[in-house]
Amino acid sequence: MNREDKSYEQLASLLCEEFHKKQSAGLLANLEKRNIEALDVSREKILKDIRQELSGYQNENGEELTEGEKNFVMDLIRKELWGYGIIDGLIHQPDISDIKLYGPDNIRVKTSGKRSGSGICFSDKNYYNRFVTKILERNKVNLGTANAIQTFTDAGQDDFILRITIISGLLTDSGLPVVAIRKVPKTKYTLRILEDAGMFKHKVPEDKRRNIKINRIPQFFSEENAELNELMYCMIGSKGILFTGKGASGKTTLMNAMIAEIPHDESVMICQENAELFDMNHPDLFAAHVLTNGGDSKISYELGDLTRAALLVDLDRVIVGEVKEGQEAAGLSKASMTGHKCWTSVHGESCEMAVDKMADYISQATGYSTKDALKQLQGFEYVVHLKNFHVDEIIRIAGWDKVKECLIYEQVYPFKREGA
């Protein structure tokens, strides 16, 4: 951002501040924490009034602002009031999955799996702090000594659901708040789209393929991927699936694509921290999210509470967005052992490490030995490991080896005949 752009940015910020002050002092004195969506005034009227204010300002050369300069400032104001200010373009850029703000001059992005600088910066610390405050106020989130780390969801954008984590400057060495934004597309990718995007890069060579009539089961993939299609059909109908990988490896994207293929004669409940997993077409699916205590409230409902509630409802399938604690893992394993089909995700470097991590969680919550906790995980028939938006490996839990006292793993992807 050059010097002239910073001047326009400061002007836009100034006009927005003046707008809020006028509303607070005038007819709109009941404005709740600057939530302009609560105003009984159209966007067009707000923008028209602010544009009139521009007539009283000059550029750095002491000249009246041109129409082009006014349009540029008004675009900044739109983003300031209803969007995400100077990072609004990053929010809506399709190939960016994550945005991190460490301070006014250090904004990082992950684009197609690769981290880099954004080339964008705030004019100063004050503007950066005001930006963070605006995000909190818009989403009605308190950040203070008692709530110095907050995670919440902004589902108000047209193209992405935003999972936002803000760490207060009270906890950072720089004294500045840190903001991490994970973007989840609202447009669900189908399995065929993910195939075309290269998520399933391992294929059986043409001369090694079995003769499978793909028309006898739903067609998720292209005809050349008939064996993958058969595997996916078995996975969707299986007892349960554990998805694993690092953050932003594609777990949520794949889960969403597979949720869209769940038969409509099944009843499904999704339990999650943030509204990331969804399906608008399934007639018997509902999603519930956690409720954390805010301000002086002591009421909260965590994933463990939702998972236990799922056992009291007439369901065929229980999906937990991500397991992070023992109560969640124990509740889900109990559901899997009582006839429910269960899906969830956990961070892990491999399929077997993910299973071990789930067993550790169960042991922590129940006091079971590691062996008994592993036995509980037989309800998860498949484990899928993703890496850099690619399915790296899929194993099947085939049962329990009574002699070796361990789970029996079978690799089902990459296919054993691949390249053989």
Strand bridging mode 114-117 / 106-111 = antiparallel
pLDDT tens-digit readout, 214-225: 556 899 999 889
What angle do helix axes 351-366 and 326-336 make, rounded to 10 degrees? 100
Residue 21 has what pLDDT? 54
Residue 420 has what pLDDT? 44
Residue 64 has what pLDDT? 78
Domain ranges of the chain: 1-82, 85-184, 191-413
pLDDT tens-digit readout, 326-384: 989 999 998 998 899 999 999 999 999 999 999 999 999 999 999 999 999 999 999 99
Domain 191-413: give its CATH code.
3.40.50.300
Q: Which residues of the chain have pLDDT under 70?
A: 1-10, 13-43, 59-60, 205-216, 292-300, 417-420
CB 104 within 8 A of CB 127: yes
pTM recorded for the entire structure: 0.78
CA 336 to chain centre: 25
Residue 234 has what pLDDT? 96
Residue 80 has what pLDDT? 76
CA 21 to chain centre: 35
CB 328 within 8 A of CB 320: yes
Please report, for residues 153, 159, 204, 380, the alpha-carbon distance to residue 272 in angstroms, rounded to integers and kept in the order given. 11, 20, 36, 19
DSSP codes of every residue in 201-260: -----GGG-----GGGS---S-GGGHHHHHHHHHHHTSSEEEEEESTTSSHHHHHHHHHT
Domain 85-184: give its CATH code.
3.30.450.370
What is the chain's mean pLDDT, rounded? 85
Of 36, 106, 117, 118, nearest in space to 77 by CA: 36
